Amino acid sequence: MVFGAGSLRHLPRELELFGARRALVLSTPGHSAAAEGLVRDLGGRAAGVFARALMHVPLEMAREARTQAARLHADCLVALGGGSTTGLAKAIALESGVPIIAVPTTYAGSEVTPIYGLTEGGVKRTGRDARVLPRVVIYDPELTLDLPLRLSITSGMNAIAHAAEGLYARDGNPLTELLAEEAIRCVAGALPSLHASPRDLAARTQALYGAWLCGTVLGTVGMALHHKLCHTLGGSFALPHAEVHAVVLPHAIEYNAAAAPQALSALARALRSEAPARALYALARTHGAPYSLRELGMRAADLDRAAELASADPYWNPRPIERSAVRTLLQHAWEGTPPG
């Protein structure tokens, strides 16, 4: 872990420690200029750039990137970007075992998890594999200064969601609980400052540090209803990832509140509120994040199917998954009414 403003300058040293001579730099199309700049800076240590990462890692795109990595004899993958770029690097590493250096530019947290996802025929499949866990992460808050405000807030809510569900994880322990509470405190504390001043480096540093902790919780313990809902809504209804997290989280926490009192107490401490679900709703809404599935373009007619999908395969959740209660949760999230 390399953390701190300006720490991208340590990338050549990290490549050197690997003995890497042919790094393939990955990014989304929107980040291609930065990726190409990085290739230039790395000089002889870079083999090329693949700047076509897409959300949810479509299999065809992963195949193209795998082919390019093999053709260039890449011996290291540098993922410069958010969860989509890290996800692409993971898809390559899953097959080839090529090590990943992640340089995250959002708060998604994928860089510290062994979780990968691949989408084929509109269906996203996820799994865990030690080969996809990045070997090095370079956290440079300067790279997040231009993250658009709306994405900064929704990505921060995405991070908080990992830690919030970690608080009631079945396989949690006192250490992950401490980590999760501190993670939420950090990210939630940074968002108002970012909203007031998006280029505030201290707030960006705090948010990125919190995102590291949140991602660590995600990578360590199992998630529950909230992540299942977001997975369903993103995967089957093509809704944007971080925005969906921001909208659904308060409602998922409300659903589980009575069944997870210890987690709710920790959340209340972290958010400094006796009504954590409402506090999450206010945190997103007052800082410009979307707060209804309707405004994300979801059709009311799809709510029944979403409830069906999210209740279909049994999975652990502090409160049992009841289809009709999940349908009600989705109705509230669709309308954007405050929880409770």
d(CA 90, CA 207): 24
Which one, 239 or 260, has the nearer CB to ligand NAD? Answer: 239
CB of 57 to ligand NAD, least distance (A): 7
Is 58 an interacting residue with respect to ligand NAD (CB under 6 A)?
no
Angle between helices 225-237 and 303-312 (to 10 degrees): 130
* Residue with tokens 């400094």, as numbered in its chain: 272
CB of 247 to ligand NAD, least distance (A): 14
Contact pick of 14, 23, 28, 137 for ligand NAD (by CB under 6 A): 28
Which one, 82 or 257, has the nearer CB to ligand NAD? Answer: 82
CB of 106 to ligand NAD, least distance (A): 3
SS3 246: helix
Is 117 an interacting residue with respect to ligand NAD (CB under 6 A)?
yes
Site for ligand NAD in 137-166 (CB under 6 A): 143-144, 146-147, 151, 155, 158
Is 232 an interacting residue with respect to ligand NAD (CB under 6 A)?
no
Is 81 an interacting residue with respect to ligand NAD (CB under 6 A)?
yes
Window of 28-36, 177-185, 191-199, 289-297 that interacts with ligand NAD by CB under 6 A: 28-36
Return the closest-CA partner of residue 245 out of 267, 230, 231, 255: 230
Q: 291: Cβ–Cβ under 8 A, 6 or more apart, which residues?
A: 246, 247, 281, 284, 285, 336
d(CA 3, CA 102): 12
Number of residues that bind ligand NAD (CB under 6 A): 30
C-alpha dist (Å) from residue 193 to 45, 147, 189, 227: 38, 14, 8, 27
Q: How many CB atoms lie within 10 A of CB 288?
A: 13
Instruction: Please report, as ranges, the residues that interact with ligand NAD according to CB under 6 A.
Output: 28, 30-31, 55-56, 81-85, 87, 105-106, 108-110, 113, 115-117, 143-144, 146-147, 151, 155, 158, 218, 241-242
